[in-house]
A = this chain, B = another copy of it.
Amino acid sequence: MTAPVNTIGLIAAFSTTTAFVPQLLRVWRLKSARDISLHMFLLFSFGEVMWLVYGLLIRSTPVILANIVTLALALAILALKLRYE
């Protein structure tokens, strides 16, 4: 794989991971998560655990690291959703 292709993959992983930061901050600031779907974050967190298991099985450090961060952010949003309900 060429370097530019890997760079595009890294930009992709970085963007879809850090995208959850402004969502977490918004829920924290508004002290409300009414419009956030509980089912979305339950299913998404389950999927992230599966990605993490997959990353460990194929021994892919980028997959493991990206999904640890995304899982932590998704669980934090889920915790605030449950707290503000």
A residues lining the B interface (CB < 8 Å): 1, 5, 8-9, 11-23, 25-27, 30, 32-37, 39-41, 43-44, 46-48, 50-51, 53-54, 57-58
Indicate which residue in B26, B51, B54 contacts A5 across the interface (CB closer than 8 Å): B54
**Secondary structure of the A contact surface, majority rule:** helix
| Contact between chains at B47 and A23 (CB < 8 Å) | no
Which residues of B are found within 8 Å of A23, using beta-carbon distances? 36-37, 39-40
Q: If the complex has contacts A54-B9, A57-B5, are A19 and B44 also in contact, measured as CB distance less than 8 A?
A: yes
Known: A9-B50, A15-B46, A22-B43. 15 other contacts (CB 8 A): A5-B58, A8-B50, A8-B53, A8-B54, A12-B53, A15-B43, A15-B47, A16-B44, A16-B47, A18-B43, A19-B47, A21-B40, A30-B34, A32-B34, A35-B36
